[in-house]
Amino acid sequence: MKLRFVTLLLGAFVFLFPFYYMLIGSLQAEPDPSVGGAFPRPDNLTGRNYAEIDAAINLGRTLINSGVFTGGVLLGTLVGGVLAGYALARLRFRGRGAVFNLMLLVQVVPFQLLTIPLYVLIVRNYGLADSYLGMILPFAINSTAVFVFRQYFLLLPAELFDAARVDGASELRILWSVAIPLVKPALLTGVLLTFIGPWNEFLWPFLITKQQDLQPLAVALSNYLTTVSARAANPFGAVLAGACVLAAPAVGLFIIFQRQFISQSIESGVKG
Amino acid sequence: MTVTDRPTIRDAPDHRVPARRGRPGRVNGRQPIGALLVTPYLVFLLVVFAYPLCYAVYISFHDYFFAAPGAVVDRPFVGLQNYRTVLADPAVRRSFVNVGIFLVINVPLTAVLSLTLAGALNKAVRWRTFFRVSYYVPYVTASVAVVGVWLFLFNSDGLVNSILGPLAPDPSWLVSSALAMPTVAVYVTWKQLGFFILLYLAALQNLSKDLYEAAAMDGAGRFASFWNVTVPGVRPATTLVVLLATVTGANLFTEPYLLTGGGGPDGASASPVLIMYQRGIEQGSPDIGAAIGILLVIGVLLLALVERRLVGRDD
């Protein structure tokens, strides 16, 4: 019994310590890599790192970019994903099996294979470099979320739909007034699952945004990390301050909604 | 059936739309409006997935280069020449070896640690939510954000080395050609572990208590019942964990790009995706990049087949 609890505590320490250290480091006036540096000292605390990173990469602007990118993906996933999830779960039509299989295939082929052709198409052929549309397009409808939505629409009793159809309701009306209100928790799960993707995504926006005022925070921060930080007074402090700003929304949302996050999405994923 | 504390998909009755109830189906199915509803998603899949997939193959077989939009240029078919160039490139070969080293460390470590922690978590009474949340936090955080802390921790004069004192490796973790890739592999294991712990946790909650009771009756100790009941019981989850960890590992880019300054020292931690980016986009040879991508995917698929054989014996 004791051993198990100690293992879990040790694990929690290993997982959480870097986040604690991130926060401490972001508040240190002078970087202190010694063991003592892991404990806050009042005389070494400052908010200057946040001001410094804000001056270097304009936190407000990059946060808005991250927000627009994430919001666009969420909107596309909610609208396109709910329609598709409902149709795949509840409606019989020609080609349903093919769409379903394609959806599963998408989860297996790594995005990286598509990086080069998507770059050629979106940046070179469609001229969508340095645009929100180009950023959002490859992620516009999250297939995992479509799958989760479908699983939840499948759980609703068939009688409900039969009754609504007998009453003469159209499919869209049934979806809007019967099905969606019943699967609200799934929609929340879908939103949370989808949120962390574009919010944390690095490679794609990194490839297609060269203009600084369109870069999401993750891209701007990495550019700061690779180029500017060598010249800054307290490079780690500024990087860690930016890291805290980037991590906070995802971690915060996750902690608030952690039950939805864990119990529903993961188990439906395992089952699939 | 196991009884869990909350409704889940597996406990619910299956309400799939029954085939052919009532009138016989028309040519377009009973509800052709379904086709209309999936249209946005289908268009998305074709534009962002199916077409680029075919286009990647096309690019890899042609002498493809960037040109101004609309410009008519000749991009002749060159057969396997791009693939020959790629396979002859020592940097590419090195990157495939590197990702091999990565997977050899990352995949077993992921499976063992996540099953161990999930097993402990499954039986824990106190602080369950706290543990679950703490294990999952790195997974939901952007790699770019946590890379900053790891650089701070594993720097030559970072916290890890100041704790290790004279035991600190020289050259240090991320600048040593022997240690850079293992350090990246450990970083990614740590970052992703929460997700795999939850996969195992879901599988463990499915295991029947009767089996453990039977094992205990037969006099099995804790270790024996873990090895003979738990490990076979979660085999489908293990298959999934191993396959997903492999696919994630093959996609490695952000970590070597940021942690080791673009795959350093001297290419010792460069991943195939990193080389694909450098050759394909930085150096303007998308044909070479596409060929690397396709070789990588073929490699991953072969590896996945082998792993399925090894791990998922029963299915």
Question: Residue B125: its pLDDT value, please?
Answer: 80
Residue B314 CB neighbours (<10 A) = 8
- Residues B236-248 have pLDDT tens digits of 899 999 999 998 8
Check whether A134 has a pLDDT greater than 90: yes
pLDDT, greater one: A242 or A42: A242
- Does residue B245 sit within a domain? yes
Q: Please state the pTM of the whole predicted model.
A: 0.87
Structure tokens at A70: 């994430």
Check whether B82 has a pLDDT greater than 80: yes
Question: Residue A263: its pLDDT value, please?
Answer: 52
Check whether A159 has a pLDDT greater than 90: no
Would the CB atoms of B247 and A157 count as touching at under 8 Å? no
Would the CB atoms of B159 and A81 count as touching at under 8 Å? no
Region A173-201: mean pLDDT is 87
Check whether A216 has a pLDDT greater than 80: yes
Least confidently predicted of A34-43, A148-157, A160-169, B24-33: B24-33
Q: State the Cα–Cα distance between residues B151 and A243, nearest whole angstrom.
A: 12
Which chain B residue has its CA at the smallest distance from A195's CA? B140
Chain centre distance of CA B6: 29
Scanning B165-234, the segments in alpha helix (DSSP H) are 180-206, 209-217, 222-225, 231-233
Structure tokens at A117: 């052709």
Q: Any residues with CB less than 8 A from the CB of A17 and at least 6 apart, and which?
A: none
Q: State the Cα–Cα distance between residues A4 and B121, nearest whole angstrom.
A: 8
- Does residue B49 sit within a domain? no
Check whether A241 has a pLDDT greater than 90: yes
CA dihedral B41, B47, B49, B50 (to 10 degrees): 110
The label of the residue with tokens 């199915």 reads: B29
CATH of the domain at B261: 1.10.3720.10
pLDDT, greater one: A6 or B73: A6
SS3 B176: coil
Structural domain for B202, as ranges: 86-311
Question: Residue B1: its pLDDT value, please?
Answer: 32
B263 touching A (Cβ < 8 Å): no
- Does residue B67 sit within a domain? no
Q: What are the φ and ψ backbone dihedral angles of A95, each rounded to 5 degrees?
A: 90, 0
Report the percentage of chain B scoring pLDDT > 90: 51
B256 touching A (Cβ < 8 Å): no
B32 touching A (Cβ < 8 Å): yes
Query: What Cα–Cα distance (Å) separates residue A163 from each residue in A168, A174, A256, B13?
Result: 9, 10, 37, 19
Question: What's the pLDDT band for B22 if we cut at 50, 70, 90?
Answer: very low
Would the CB atoms of A243 and B258 count as touching at under 8 Å? no
Amino acid at B252: L
B26 touching A (Cβ < 8 Å): no
**Do B35 and A95 meet the contact criterion of CB atoms below 8 Å apart?**
yes
**Do A204 and A115 meet the contact criterion of CB atoms below 8 Å apart?**
yes
Question: Residue A268: its pLDDT value, please?
Answer: 47
E strand or H helix at A134:
helix A132-136
Whole-number mean pLDDT of chain B? 85
Q: Which of B33, B27, B26 is nearest to A174 (CA)?
A: B33
- Residues B111-140 have pLDDT tens digits of 999 999 999 998 888 888 899 889 999 999
SS3 B62: strand
Residues of chain B with Cβ-Cβ distance to A8 below 8 Å are 117, 120-121, 124, 127, 131
Structure tokens at A192: 């949370």
Question: Residue A235: its pLDDT value, please?
Answer: 77
- Does residue B40 sit within a domain? no
- Does residue B236 sit within a domain? yes
Region A113-120: mean pLDDT is 91
- Residues B140-169 have pLDDT tens digits of 999 999 998 998 888 888 888 888 888 888
Residue B1 CB neighbours (<10 A) = 7
SS3 A28: strand
Amino acid at A102: L
Tally the domains of chain B.
1
Report the percentage of chain A scoring pLDDT > 90: 46
- Residues A71-96 have pLDDT tens digits of 999 999 999 999 999 999 999 998 89
The residue among B5, B8, B11, B15 with the most chain A CBs within 10 A of its CB, best to mutate, is: B15
Cis peptide before B171 (omega within 30 of 0): yes
The residue among A9, A14, A15, A255 with the most chain B CBs within 10 A of its CB, best to mutate, is: A15
Check whether B192 has a pLDDT greater than 50: yes
Q: Nearest by CB to A109, which of B53, B129, B276?
A: B53
Check whether B29 has a pLDDT greater than 70: no
Check whether B7 has a pLDDT greater than 70: no
Q: State the Cα–Cα distance between residues A250 and B285, nearest whole angstrom.
A: 36
The label of the residue with tokens 């008519």 reads: B72
Question: Residue B182: its pLDDT value, please?
Answer: 95
- Residues A252-272 have pLDDT tens digits of 988 888 776 655 444 444 443
- Does residue B149 sit within a domain? yes
Structure tokens at B277: 């980016």
Residues of chain A with Cβ-Cβ distance to B150 below 8 Å are 18
Answer whether CATH 1.10.287.110 is correct for domain A67-223. Answer: no
B251 touching A (Cβ < 8 Å): yes
Residues of chain B with Cβ-Cβ distance to A244 below 8 Å are 145
* Relative orientation angle of helices B128-140 and A235-256, to the nearest 10 degrees: 130
- Residues B206-231 have pLDDT tens digits of 888 888 888 888 888 888 888 888 88
Would the CB atoms of A124 and B67 count as touching at under 8 Å? yes
B199 touching A (Cβ < 8 Å): yes
- Does residue B128 sit within a domain? yes
Q: List residues bridging with A28 in a β-sheet.
A: A45
Torsion sign (Cα): A57, A200, B304, A140? negative
